[in-house]
Amino acid sequence: MHEVLVAFALTLGAGLATSIGGVLGVFGKAGSTKTLSLGLGFSAGVMIYVSLFEILPKGRDALAGVHGEVPGNWLMVLGFFSGIAAIAIIDHLVPSAVNPHEPGTIGDKHRKHALMRTGLMTAVALGIHNFPEGFATFMAGLQSPEIAISVAVAIALHNIPEGLAVAVPVYQATGSRAKALTWSSVSGLAEPAGALIGYLVLFPFMSDTLLGLVFAAIAGIMVFISLDELLPSAEEYGEHHLAIYGVIAGMAVMAVSLVLLL
């Protein structure tokens, strides 16, 4: 039970980082775009490294232990690309004008003016997008709290501009800071909701095979988010090289931390 509570707390904290973006959206301006670019790149580096070097191998080991080396590796590949397909389908179903993965959604004045009339739809879209992220963080927490902390921090960093994307149009549409902050927080609460629902649905059927497939899928989801959202957003906010430096720094920090945990 203690592991479940820790995993849920990390997921809740990562989700509520959208509230930070909400505060920036209604009470002030976001910080340095270069700092934000570096932070988003760093987040991408952490997520990509931990996905490919820690979460995906754990999934492979679990599957190979049950089904053998070759079938286990094929199942790992299936799980990995199934995770990518799932998040890609979610993106496809969300209207491009309010999809956080579409270039220019954040920071473009014309888009913000358009989003002013669809603020609540933005919150709903982000909520749908955040649902699998919450499950990914939660499952990482159950397996390894140390890894989950890095995952939660990375997801929290990229949730800040998402909260900003919700708060600005809602505030402009209603003139209410309270409503803007509420909806930016609600969109983030989809992450602990995803964790809770996923846990309740899958826990009765949990096995080494299912656990391996889930971890492989989580790795796919996190890699897709990094390549589809974090890196484009990092470059949109700042310079190309600065974003890449952030990615490398995130990978380096994650690599060192994983080695120290051995």
Question: Which residues are documented as binding site?
Answer: 130, 133, 158-159, 162, 191
Q: Shortest CA distance to 225 belongs to which of 62, 95, 50, 108?
A: 50
Separation CA 31–CA 39 (nearest Å): 11
Angle at CA 211, nearest 5°, toward 205 and 212? 140
Separation CA 18–CA 133 (nearest Å): 13
Separation CA 36–CA 236 (nearest Å): 10
Angle at CA 44, nearest 5°, toward 40 and 50? 145
Other C-beta atoms closer than 10 Å to the C-beta of 132 total 23
Separation CA 14–CA 163 (nearest Å): 12
Question: Which residues are documented as binding site for Zn(2+)?
Answer: 133, 158, 162
Q: In sequence order, which residues have a C-beta less than 8 Å from that of residue 242 and are 6 or more positions away?
A: 34, 37, 38, 41, 234
CB 42 within 8 A of CB 247: yes
- What CA–CA distances, in Å, run from 52 to 57, 80, 131, 218, 255? 7, 10, 21, 10, 11
pLDDT per position as a tens digit, 49-105: 888 988 899 889 989 999 999 999 999 999 999 999 988 887 777 655 555 555 554
Question: Which residues are documented as binding site for Fe(2+)?
Answer: 130, 133, 159, 162, 191
pLDDT of residue 106: 47
As a whole number, mean pLDDT of residues 235-255 equals: 82
User: pTM (2 decimals)?
Assistant: 0.66
Classify each residue of 55-76 as buried b or exposed e, where b means 16 or more C-beta atoms within 10 Å of its C-beta: bbebbbebbbeebeeeebeebb
pLDDT per position as a tens digit, 163-188: 776 776 677 667 778 888 888 888 88
pLDDT of residue 165: 66
